[in-house]
Amino acid sequence: MKPASNGKHNIGECKQVTIRCLSELGWFDSKITVETIKKAGGSDTNQWIIPWDSKNAAGFCSLIDVELLDGSHHKFLLDTGWNKEYMENIFRRDGIDKMLENGEIEFLFISHEHLDHYWGLETTLKYNPKIKIIIPDTFYPEGLALLKGADFEKAGVSNKIPHEGDLIKTKPYAVEQIFEGCASVTFDLPIVHHVSGEQSLFFNVKDKGIVCVTGCCHQSILTLADFANNNIVGGENIYGVYGGFHIAPFGPMNPEREYIVKEMGKYNFKKIACNHCTGLAAVEKMLELDYPIVRGTGSLGSQSDLYVGNGDEVIF
C-alpha cells in the first residue's frame, strides 16, 4: 500500500473481529522447555537442531473471523501450533478440520517460524494442502523447507504433506492490506533460536478503533502500538490488542518488564486480550494497574482464568 499524503496508510474499515483462541499453550511444562534449551547451549542455538521433548509440545493457534461492513466474512488461522497430535485434537474439537476441508478458512497467517507457532504445519495441510499461506519474507531456509516437505529428525519435526497453494511473503515494514479493514506488517529483527522477523495484524474496526493482533510480539507491544500510531490512519486510537506480548514468558517480573507493562498505559487500550508468552506475572501486574484485561475460563489446559485461554473467544 502507498501511504496517504500524511504518510499514514488507510487500511479501510471492518465491522467486527472475533478471535477464538484454539490454543495459547506453547508447551505444557516451562521447566522442561527451559532445561532443554540450557542443555542445547542456550537461546542462540538453532531450534531446528535441538532435541525437543515432543510430549511437552503444544502450540499457539487462533481462528480469526472478520466481518466486513457489507456483512460478509473472512476467516483465517493465526499460526498452526507445534505438536501435530495435540493440534489434531484441537482442530477436531472446534471443527477446524471441516472448515479447512470445505474452504471456509481462507488462509493460514504465520506470525513467525518459532516451533510452537509453525511446526504443526502438517495438521493444517492435511485438511487443505492448497490453502494460501502468508509468511514473513524473513524466513530462514529451514522454515521454507518445512513448507515443501521436510524431516528435521533431531528436532522431532516433519511435514509429509508439501504445500501446494499460494505462498505470500510480506516485506519488512510494508503495510500489506489483506482485505478492507485488515493489514499485516512484518517487523525485521533477530529472535532467539535462529528465527528472524515477526509479522503482526492490524484491524480498523468501525466506531471502535484499531485492533492489534500478534503471535509473540517479539518486537514488543510498545513497538507494535507505536507503529500503529505513526503509520496507520486511525492509529492514534488503539481499541484493543490480542495475543502473546512476550513480557514474562518464563518467570517473574523485573525492572525492564515492569517498564513495558507501565508504558502500555499510555495507549489507553479498551480491551487487552493477552495470553501465551505474556506471562502470568505480567497479567497480574496489568490487573494491579486496572488495565481492561479480558478474562478467560481457565479451562482446556490453560493455567489461569485471568487471561483469554484455550477455547475462549474475544470480540472486538
- DSSP annotation of 186 reads E
Is the model's pTM score more than 0.85?
A: yes
> What count of other Cβ atoms lies within 10 Å of the Cβ of residue 280?
16
Q: What is the pLDDT of residue 6?
A: 65
What class, spelled out in words, does domain 16-315 have in CATH? alpha beta
Owner of C-alpha cell 503482526: 200
* Amino acid at position 176, single letter: E
Per residue in 108-130, pLDDT (tens digit) is 999 999 999 999 999 999 999 99
Residue 160 has pLDDT above 60, yes or no: yes
Q: What is the DSSP letter of 232?
A: B
| The C-alpha cell that represents 28 in the structure block | 505444557
Say how many CA atoms lie within 13 Å of 178 toward its Cβ: 29
What pLDDT does 7 receive?
A: 83
Q: What's the rounded Cα separation, in Å, for the pair 21 and 302?
A: 11
Distance from C-alpha of 303 to C-alpha of 55, rounded to nearest angstrom: 18
Query: Model confidence over 213-225: pLDDT tens digits?
Result: 999 999 999 999 9
How many angstroms separate the Cα of 200 from the Cα of each of 79, 80, 169, 211? 11, 15, 13, 11
Supply the angle between the helices 280-288 and 255-264 in degrees, to the nearest 10: 50
In the 8-state DSSP scheme, what is residue 129? T
